[in-house]
């Protein structure tokens, strides 16, 4: 199922990503309009994180491309914010919560430029928004998992972007963080920003997001959740394994051959 | 001033200045190697400069650093690039690639050195020093070179601190915001190789990794700030270098490099042991304080249990009145629980000072003996522990499906750990229960004690009232 989107904020065209020759994503094609909150949903190993990493140019693509605001990412990086998975960094690093949020200002400030007082003000404001103003000087290892996730969220806010790509911001967080995150995403959407969230939990996905991208190595469906959350499409995403596709992938991996010329 | 310390000896000052500059410079780049978990990469680079030094000697036919160090630099950079290329383009993982490059480069270096020794004879004596280092041979011209390299490293790190911080903490995010990731990583690699190249002269290729990593590891114990950590690491390296140089200068026939490493290791061990908060001693003290707190809390709980047994009908029923603490002698307390007598007396003295326990004199009517009694506040603290204990037991049996006869020991430990916030959450999750799995009533937070000033607890749960 595909819907033609006029003036998409995010456009993914024929995107294929391989990992050690094995396709992690096959021919992904979709567009996201402005001002929606999108959940990327699918089973483990469906390539959800790979999809937003490919959009952020963090993994090499075998074919296809992703455009943001009709331009290539390099031209609009200032308007795109990326929130990696919490486990992707070492939280024992010698930094305070404020230090991490300030990293969201690095892109605006530019290479080798010192941060300004305005950067510090914005960073503190973002920490307040996620309810962590009292923890600004706390060493990040001393924060709970949910608080660490909120520090990442505050860093994304500090980027003052228009498109947000978030990798599992709800994974393993406490109820307070879940609530704060959800409220925040709603506010961003109401400000006309577009948010794409990788999400692992099918139950809550229907409640959290306006749009859903159903992914299982290939794109199963995307669109407003009422249209996408059908038993057939969910079955297609989670249920029957695509044996032939998996076998072809496996063949490519075993013989170390590319799936693209 | 001891006889042996000839402070007017210019050679001593040369060695001191040289080793301090080299040590501090290595420590600065070492901090990033340490934080990025690239300690072994530093080791590999250090070993890999050897073939470069040998080849430079063959080509340049000179032992001067101006000829040898460029060779070392190129060889070290080539090694770093090889590790990266192997890890990126083959199925060999980074750790294996590091080991591979280290052994191939180092082996080639040793081979070349042996060959030079055979064919060129005595002239190679000068190359030996790169294996284990020889600080005594520092010349005034070398010192200028060290100072220039150290200053260059410090300035680069000061300018690119923000970038190196992000590169080390979250490389993916650095790339996502469009930082020139590869160039910055390359710059850091060049700085590391520069530090190694001037370092091998004093401590040798074999011990170079320790000069990079040990100061950073020591500094990490003292601070949670990257800027402070850089300064501390440089300071620790300078101290270790000075101490090592002094020893080798004062005692005849002692090598400088190994003594620097010994001094640095001593500083690192001392940091590990005595640093506040992260150090071993601080952790022991924290643990001991927690044990004493547990001992005191167990005393208060014993008084609560005694009060409960005395008047079960009022103990736990909301609004039924306040039980009063019975008077217990030390012997009676020991009967109730296997306290260690000495620690029991210490706990009681502290509880008395905190106003949670009071001594009671023997009554003239001889009905009650001398002993101790919990104050209303003390009793309430005891009740809170019994309450958390029973809530936790209930939680384990109801939510985690653990058999009721297996939950007591767990609760004995958890009751001392739980904060008022967790207590409120526990109560809410269990929907404000009345009895634990063994049928004992769960004391209400407001059901006991006086209505006086609340010193031991925070208001717990508005719904419970």
* E strands present in B9-50: none
Among all residues of chain B, which has the CA nearest to that of A90? B169
Please give the pLDDT value at position B454: 37
**What pLDDT, in 10s, does the model give residues A155-167?**
999 999 999 999 9
Q: In this complex, do B169 and A103 lie within 8 Å of one another by their Cβ atoms?
A: yes
Please give the pLDDT value at position B438: 86
Please give the pLDDT value at position B25: 96
User: Between A88, A93, A141, which is nearest B172 by CB?
Assistant: A88
Can you tell me the distance from the alpha carbon of A81 to that of A100, in angstroms, rounded to the nearest whole number? 14
For position B368, which CATH number holds?
Answer: 1.10.10.10
B280 occurs within a structural domain: no
B4 occurs within a structural domain: no
**Interface membership of B38 toward A (CB under 8 Å):** no
Q: Are B319 and B388 members of one domain?
A: yes
Q: In this complex, do A112 and B162 lie within 8 Å of one another by their Cβ atoms?
A: yes
Can you tell me the distance from the alpha carbon of B87 to that of B69, in angstroms, rounded to the nearest whole number? 27
Q: In this model, does residue B453 exceed pLDDT 60? A: no
**What pLDDT, in 10s, does the model give residues B46-94?**
999 999 999 999 998 888 888 899 999 999 999 999 999 999 888 899 9
B216 occurs within a structural domain: yes
Tell me the nearest-neighbour CA distance from A77 into chain B, angstroms.
Answer: 6
Q: In this model, does residue A41 exceed pLDDT 80? A: yes
Q: In this complex, do A82 and B160 lie within 8 Å of one another by their Cβ atoms?
A: no
Q: Is A17 helix (H, G, I), strand (E, B) or coil?
A: strand
The answer to which of B2-6, B36-40, B114-118 has the lowest mean pLDDT is: B2-6
Neighbours of B430 (CB within 10 A): 15
Contacts B229 to A, Cβ<8 Å: 94
Q: Which structural domain, as residue segments, surrounds residue B50? A: 10-275
Q: Are strands A163-167 and A194-199 parallel, antiparallel or unpaired?
A: parallel
- Transcribe A52-98 into DSSP letters: HHHHTT-S--SEEEEEETTEEHHHHGGGEEEE--GGGS-TTSS-BHH
Band the pLDDT of A42: cuts 50, 70, 90.
Answer: very high
Nearest in space to B426 (alpha carbons), one of B384, B363, B379: B384
Q: Are B234 and B333 members of one domain?
A: no
Chain A residues within 8 Å of chain B (Cβ atoms): 20, 53, 56-58, 74, 77, 80, 82, 84, 88-90, 93-96, 99-100, 103, 106-107, 109, 111-112, 114-115, 139, 141, 155, 159
Please give the pLDDT value at position B449: 36
Q: How many domains, in total, are found in chain B? A: 2
A-B CB pairs within 8 A amount to 74
Token pair for B133? 């280092």
Among B218, B242, B275, which residue terminates a domain? B275
Neighbours of B188 (CB within 10 A): 23
User: Between B37, B91, B163, which is nearest A111 by CB?
Assistant: B163
Neighbours of A178 (CB within 10 A): 16
Cβ(A193)–Cβ(A156) under 8 Å? no
Can you tell me the distance from the alpha carbon of B363 to that of B370, in angstroms, rounded to the nearest whole number? 7
Q: Are B324 and B349 members of one domain?
A: yes
Q: Which residues contact B111 (CB under 8 A, 6 or more apart)?
A: none
Can you tell me the distance from the alpha carbon of B461 to that of B446, in angstroms, rounded to the nearest whole number? 10
**What's the full length of chain B, in residues?**
465
- Transcribe A130-174 into DSSP letters: TT-GGGTTSBGGGS-HHHHHHHHHHHHHHT--SEEEEE-TTTT--
**Interface membership of B223 toward A (CB under 8 Å):** yes
Can you tell me the distance from the alpha carbon of B346 to that of B364, in angstroms, rounded to the nearest whole number? 28
Contacts B178 to A, Cβ<8 Å: 74, 77, 107
Among B244, B275, B306, which residue terminates a domain? B275
Can you tell me the distance from the alpha carbon of B68 to that of A122, in angstroms, rounded to the nearest whole number? 51
Residue to mutate among A106, A123, A148, A176, with most B CBs inside 10 A, is: A106
Contacts A109 to B, Cβ<8 Å: 162
Q: In this model, does residue B447 exceed pLDDT 50? A: no
Among all residues of chain B, which has the CA nearest to that of A161? B177
Cβ(B305)–Cβ(B336) under 8 Å? yes
Tell me the nearest-neighbour CA distance from A219 into chain B, angstroms.
Answer: 24
Q: Are B150 and B198 members of one domain?
A: yes
Please give the pLDDT value at position B121: 64
Please give the pLDDT value at position B316: 53
Rounded to 5°, angle at Cα A98 from A92 and A103: 85
Cβ(A17)–Cβ(A66) under 8 Å? no
Q: In this model, does residue B129 exceed pLDDT 90? A: no
Q: In this complex, do B165 and A74 lie within 8 Å of one another by their Cβ atoms?
A: no
Q: Are B209 and B247 members of one domain?
A: yes
Q: In this complex, do B162 and A90 lie within 8 Å of one another by their Cβ atoms?
A: no
- % residues pLDDT > 90 (chain B): 57
Q: In this complex, do A94 and B225 lie within 8 Å of one another by their Cβ atoms?
A: yes
**Interface membership of B177 toward A (CB under 8 Å):** yes
**What pLDDT, in 10s, does the model give residues B166-187?**
999 999 999 999 999 999 999 9
Can you tell me the distance from the alpha carbon of A136 to that of A100, in angstroms, rounded to the nearest whole number? 10
Q: Are B333 and B201 members of one domain?
A: no
Can you tell me the distance from the alpha carbon of A164 to that of A162, in angstroms, rounded to the nearest whole number? 7
- Mean pLDDT value across chain A: 90
Can you tell me the distance from the alpha carbon of B451 to that of B456, in angstroms, rounded to the nearest whole number? 13
User: Between B160, B175, B223, which is nearest A94 by CB?
Assistant: B223
Rounded to 5°, angle at Cα B43 from B38 and B49: 125
Q: Is A194 helix (H, G, I), strand (E, B) or coil?
A: strand
User: Between B35, B91, B176, which is nearest A93 by CB?
Assistant: B35
Please give the pLDDT value at position B455: 36
Contacts A155 to B, Cβ<8 Å: 173
Q: In this model, does residue B456 exceed pLDDT 70? A: no
For position B146, which CATH number holds?
Answer: 1.10.3470.10
Contacts A80 to B, Cβ<8 Å: 176
**Interface membership of B63 toward A (CB under 8 Å):** no
Contacts B179 to A, Cβ<8 Å: 106-107, 111
Cβ(B301)–Cβ(B279) under 8 Å? no
Task: Identify the CATH assignment for A10-255 out of 3.40.50.1820, 3.30.1780.10, 3.40.50.300, 1.10.357.140.
Answer: 3.40.50.300
Neighbours of B173 (CB within 10 A): 28
Please give the pLDDT value at position B444: 79
Please give the pLDDT value at position B450: 33
Q: Are B256 and B333 members of one domain?
A: no
Q: Are B388 and B423 members of one domain?
A: yes
Q: In this complex, do B175 and A58 lie within 8 Å of one another by their Cβ atoms?
A: yes
Q: In this complex, do A93 and B229 lie within 8 Å of one another by their Cβ atoms?
A: no
Can you tell me the distance from the alpha carbon of B464 to that of B427, in angstroms, rounded to the nearest whole number? 9
Please give the pLDDT value at position B458: 40
Q: Are B174 and B319 members of one domain?
A: no
Q: Are B92 and B28 members of one domain?
A: yes
Q: In this complex, do A99 and B220 lie within 8 Å of one another by their Cβ atoms?
A: no
**What pLDDT, in 10s, does the model give residues B221-251?**
999 999 999 999 999 999 999 999 999 888 8
Q: In this model, does residue A120 exceed pLDDT 60? A: yes
Band the pLDDT of B443: cuts 50, 70, 90.
Answer: confident
Band the pLDDT of B319: cuts 50, 70, 90.
Answer: very low
Q: Is the dihedral of CA A97, A100, A102, A104 positive or negative?
A: negative
Please give the pLDDT value at position B314: 59
Window B:97-136, CB contacts with A under 8 Å: none
Q: In this model, does residue A241 exceed pLDDT 60? A: no
User: Between B159, B169, B175, which is nearest A112 by CB?
Assistant: B159
- Domain ranges within chain A, ordered by starting residue: 10-255
Q: Are B89 and B182 members of one domain?
A: yes
Q: How far is CA B431 from CA B147, B404, B423, in A?
A: 69, 19, 12
Contacts B160 to A, Cβ<8 Å: 112
Q: In this complex, do B169 and A77 lie within 8 Å of one another by their Cβ atoms?
A: no
Please give the pLDDT value at position B428: 86
Q: Which residue has the higher pLDDT, B115 or B368?
A: B115
B2 occurs within a structural domain: no
Band the pLDDT of B138: cuts 50, 70, 90.
Answer: confident
- % residues pLDDT > 70 (chain B): 89
Can you tell me the distance from the alpha carbon of B170 to that of B359, in angstroms, rounded to the nearest whole number? 59
User: Between A56, A80, A94, which is nearest B224 by CB?
Assistant: A94
Q: Is B147 helix (H, G, I), strand (E, B) or coil?
A: helix
The answer to which of B99-113, B298-312, B353-367 has the lowest mean pLDDT is: B353-367
Among B217, B250, B275, which residue terminates a domain? B275
**Interface membership of B35 toward A (CB under 8 Å):** yes
B218 occurs within a structural domain: yes
B455 exposure class (CB count in 10 Å sphere: 0-12, 13-18, 19+): exposed
Q: Are B114 and B201 members of one domain?
A: yes
Please give the pLDDT value at position B357: 92
Band the pLDDT of B159: cuts 50, 70, 90.
Answer: very high
**Interface membership of B419 toward A (CB under 8 Å):** no
Q: Is A22 helix (H, G, I), strand (E, B) or coil?
A: strand
């Amino acid at each position: 199922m595909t819907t033609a989107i006029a003036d998409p904020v995010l456009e993914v065209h024929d995107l294929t990503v391989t990992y050690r020759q094995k396709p992690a994503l096959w021919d992904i094609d979709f567009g996201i309009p402005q001002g929606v909150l999108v959940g990327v949903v699918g089973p483990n190993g469906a390539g959800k994180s790979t999809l937003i990493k490919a959009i952020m140019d963090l993994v090499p693509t075998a074919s296809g491309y992703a455009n943001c605001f009709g331009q290539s990412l390099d031209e609009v990086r200032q308007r795109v914010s990326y929130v990696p998975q919490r486990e992707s960094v070492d939280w024992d690093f010698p930094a305070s919560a404020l230090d991490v949020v300030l990293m969201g200002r690095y892109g605006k400030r530019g290479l080798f430029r010192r941060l300004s007082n305005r950067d510090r003000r914005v960073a503190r404001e973002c920490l307040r928004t996620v309810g962590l103003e009292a923890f600004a000087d706390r060493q990040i290892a001393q924060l709970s998992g949910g608080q660490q996730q909120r520090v990442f969220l505050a860093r994304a806010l500090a980027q003052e972007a228009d498109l947000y790509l978030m990798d599992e911001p709800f994974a393993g967080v406490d109820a307070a963080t879940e609530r704060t995150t959800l409220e925040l995403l709603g506010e961003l959407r109401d400000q006309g920003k577009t948010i794409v969230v990788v999400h692992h939990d099918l139950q809550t996905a229907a409640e959290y997001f306006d749009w859903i991208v159903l992914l299982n190595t290939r794109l199963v469906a995307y669109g407003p959740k009422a249209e996408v959350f059908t038993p057939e499409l969910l079955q297609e995403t989670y249920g029957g394994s695509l044996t032939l596709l998996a076998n072809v992938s496996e063949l490519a991996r075993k013989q170390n051959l590319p799936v693209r010329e | 001033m001891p006889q042996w310390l000839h402070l007017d000896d210019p050679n001593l000052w040369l060695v001191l200045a040289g080793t301090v500059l080299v040590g501090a410079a290595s420590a600065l780049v070492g901090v990033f190697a340490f934080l990025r978990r690239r300690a072994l990469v530093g080791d590999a680079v250090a070993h890999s400069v050897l073939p470069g030094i040998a080849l430079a000697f063959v080509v340049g036919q000179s032992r001067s650093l101006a000829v040898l160090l460029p060779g070392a630099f190129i060889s070290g950079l080539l090694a770093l690039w090889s590790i990266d290329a192997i890890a990126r383009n083959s199925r060999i993982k980074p750790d294996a690639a590091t080991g591979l490059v280290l052994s191939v480069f180092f082996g080639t270096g040793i081979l070349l050195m042996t060959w030079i020794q055979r064919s060129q004879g005595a002239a190679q004596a000068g190359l030996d020093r790169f294996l284990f280092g020889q600080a005594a041979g520092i010349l005034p011209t070398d010192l200028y070179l060290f100072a220039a390299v150290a200053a260059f490293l410090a300035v680069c790190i000061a300018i690119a601190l923000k970038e190196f911080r992000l590169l080390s903490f979250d490389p993916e995010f650095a790339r996502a915001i469009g930082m020139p990731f590869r160039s910055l990583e390359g710059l850091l690699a060049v700085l590391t190789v520069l530090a190694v190249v001037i370092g091998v002269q004093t401590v040798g290729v074999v011990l170079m990794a320790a000069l990079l990593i040990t100061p950073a590891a020591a500094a990490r114990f003292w601070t949670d700030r990257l800027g402070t950590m850089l300064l501390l690491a440089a300071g620790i390296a300078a101290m270790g270098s000075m101490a090592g140089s002094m020893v080798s200068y004062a005692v005849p026939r002692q090598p400088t490099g190994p003594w620097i490493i010994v001094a640095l290791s001593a500083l690192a061990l001392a940091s590990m042991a005595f640093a506040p908060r992260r150090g071993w001693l601080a952790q022991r003290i924290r643990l001991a304080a927690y044990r004493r707190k547990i001992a005191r809390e167990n005393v208060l709980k014993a008084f609560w249990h005694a009060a409960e047994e005395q008047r079960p009908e009022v103990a736990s029923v909301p609004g039924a009145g306040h039980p009063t603490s019975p008077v217990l002698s030390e012997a009676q307390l020991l009967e109730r629980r296997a306290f260690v007598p000495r620690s029991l007396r210490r706990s009681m003295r502290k509880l008395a000072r905190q106003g949670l326990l009071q001594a009671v004199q023997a009554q003239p009517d001889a009905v009650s003996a001398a002993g101790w009694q919990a104050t209303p506040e003390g009793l309430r603290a005891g009740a809170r522990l019994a309450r958390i204990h029973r809530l936790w037991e209930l939680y384990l049996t109801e939510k985690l499906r653990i058999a009721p006869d297996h939950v007591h020991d767990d609760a004995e430990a958890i009751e001392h750990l739980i904060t008022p916030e967790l207590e409120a959450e526990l109560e809410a999750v269990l929907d404000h229960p009345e009895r634990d799995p063994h049928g004992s009533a769960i004391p209400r937070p407001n059901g006991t004690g006086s209505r006086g000033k609340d010193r031991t607890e925070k208001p717990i749960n508005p719904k419970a009232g």
